[in-house]
Amino acid sequence: MLPVPTPSVEQSAVGRTPDPSPRKTLIREGNTVPFVLVTSLFFLWGIPNNLNDVLIRQFMKSFTITRFEAGLVQSAFYMGYFLLAMPAAVLMRKAGYKIGMIVGLLLFGLGTFLFWPAALVGRYSFFLAALFVIASGLAFLETASNPFITQLGDSAGSEQRLNLAQAFNPLGAITGVLIGTIFIFSGVELSPEAISLSKAQHTYEAYLRYETLRVVKPYLALGWIAIVLAVILICTKFPSISNEDATKISEEKYGRISDLLGSARFLMAVAAQFMYVGAQVGTWSYFIQYVQTYVHQTEKLAGLVLTGTLIAFALGRFGSAWLMRRIAPQKLMGYYSLVNVALVAVAIFFPGWVGLFAVFFTSFFMSIMFPTIFALGLKGLGPNTKIGGSFLVMAIVGGAVLTPLMGLISEWWHSVALAYIVPLVSYICVAAFSFSAAVAKAGKADFVRS
Cα–Cα nearest to 349, from 424, 286, 431? 424
Contact 274, 382 (CB under 8 A): no
Examine residue 25 and state whether it is found in any structural domain, yes or no: no
CATH number at residue 54: 1.20.1250.20
Give the integer Cα–Cα distance in Å for 68 and 406.
8
For residue 307, give its domain range: 31-236+253-448
Examine residue 293 and state whether it is found in any structural domain, yes or no: yes
Secondary structure, 3-state, the chain: CCCCCCCCHHHHHCCCCCCCCCCCCCCCCCCHHHHHHHHHHHHHHHHHHHHHHHHHHHHHHHCCCCHHHHHHHHHHHHHHHHHHHHHHHHHHHHHCHHHHHHHHHHHHHHHHHCHHHHHHHCCHHHHHHHHHHHHHHHHHHHHHHHHHHHCCCCHHHHHHHHHHHHCCHHHHHHHHHHHHHHHHCCCCCCCHHHHHHHHHCCCHHHHHHHHHHCCHHHHHHHHHHHHHHHHHHHCCCCCCCHHHHCCCCCHHHHHCHHHHHCCHHHHHHHHHHHHHHHHHHHHHHCHHHHHHHHCCCCHHHHHHHHHHHHHHHHHHHHHHHHHCCCCCHHHHHHHHHHHHHHHHHHHHHCCCHHHHHHHHHHHHHHCCHHHHHHHHHHCCCHHHHHHHHHHHHHHHHHHHHHHHHHHHHHHHHCCHHHHCHHHHHHHHHHHHHHHHHHHHHHHCCHHHCC
| Number of domains into which the chain is organized | 1
CA 42 vs CA 15, 38, 51, 80, 381: distances in Å:
42, 7, 15, 17, 23
* Dihedral sign of CA atoms 406, 168, 235, 231 in order: positive
The torsion angle over the Cα atoms of residues 397, 127, 211 and 286, rounded to 10 degrees, is -10
Give me the average pLDDT of each 10-residue run along the chain (450 residues).
Answer: 42 44 65 90 92 87 84 87 90 89 97 95 93 95 89 77 85 90 86 86 89 93 96 90 51 58 86 96 92 90 90 88 86 96 97 96 94 86 80 89 91 94 97 87 49
Examine residue 245 and state whether it is found in any structural domain, yes or no: no
- Per-residue pLDDT, 243: 56
- Per-residue pLDDT, 378: 84
Examine residue 22 and state whether it is found in any structural domain, yes or no: no
Examine residue 329 and state whether it is found in any structural domain, yes or no: yes
Examine residue 243 and state whether it is found in any structural domain, yes or no: no
- Per-residue pLDDT, 337: 97
Examine residue 387 and state whether it is found in any structural domain, yes or no: yes
Examine residue 413 and state whether it is found in any structural domain, yes or no: yes
Contact 375, 446 (CB under 8 A): no
